[in-house]
Amino acid sequence: MMSAWRPFTFNEKLALGLFVLFCPVYLIATAWIRPGSVVTGHEFGLFVAWRLGWILLGFLAWCVALATVFLTPAGHPSRTRMQAGRILPLASLGAAVMLSSPAVDAITRQQRRAFAAQNAQALGGPPPTAVIYRKGIPDGGVAIVRSPGRDPTGLSQRLMLDLTGERIKSCELISDTDWSCYFD
């Protein structure tokens, strides 16, 4: 098995490793391991650790990939392959991020739709209504707002305060009637 990897340069192996880590591994981890949507108490610590861990890992990966551009790789018989190998880890990491970002957005949107469906009773009644999806510490967060045909960012300040307890900054439509809104 090890002999199969010998023809590849270090940078080519690094590029493959970065792509696998930040595309399929990150997507699998996001879909199955990421802490739940409503983060309180103990889960908040897990959520922060999850976020900080991936941020740190991403920062280190970008630093290593960027370093390969400037550091001279070990000699290789093919000069073209050696030069291409210098940017390959950075290009691979960029491709992984570009491929995984829309998928993570879709997973997040689906989780928020599922949360809205679970809280259909709380979102019942005359619109607009809201349920807190994630509350930040000390303030801010995400709320699911049921407001058919009307962007909740255009609501009056008083109504925003009634719905979330704070001002709604931005919203994204997640279904025909529901919005995912960030508040501060």
* pLDDT tens per residue across span 22-32: 999 988 888 77
Residue 84 in any domain: the answer is yes
Q: How far apart are CA 60 and CA 52, in angstroms?
A: 12
Global pTM value:
0.74
Q: Are residues 60 and 145 in the same domain?
A: no
Phi, psi of 5, rounded to the nearest 5 degrees: -90, -15
Is residue 124 one of the residues assigned to a domain?
no
- Condensed to tens digits (0 to 9), the pLDDT of residues 40-78 reads 556 667 777 888 999 999 999 999 999 988 886 666 677
The residue behind tokens 């995912």 is: 180
- Is residue 123 included in any domain, yes or no? no
pLDDT digits 0-9 by tens, 172-182: 999 999 999 99
Q: Which residues partner with 131 through β-bridges?
A: 144
Structural domain count, the chain:
2
Domain region containing 82: 2-105
Which residues is 24 bridged to in the sheet? none
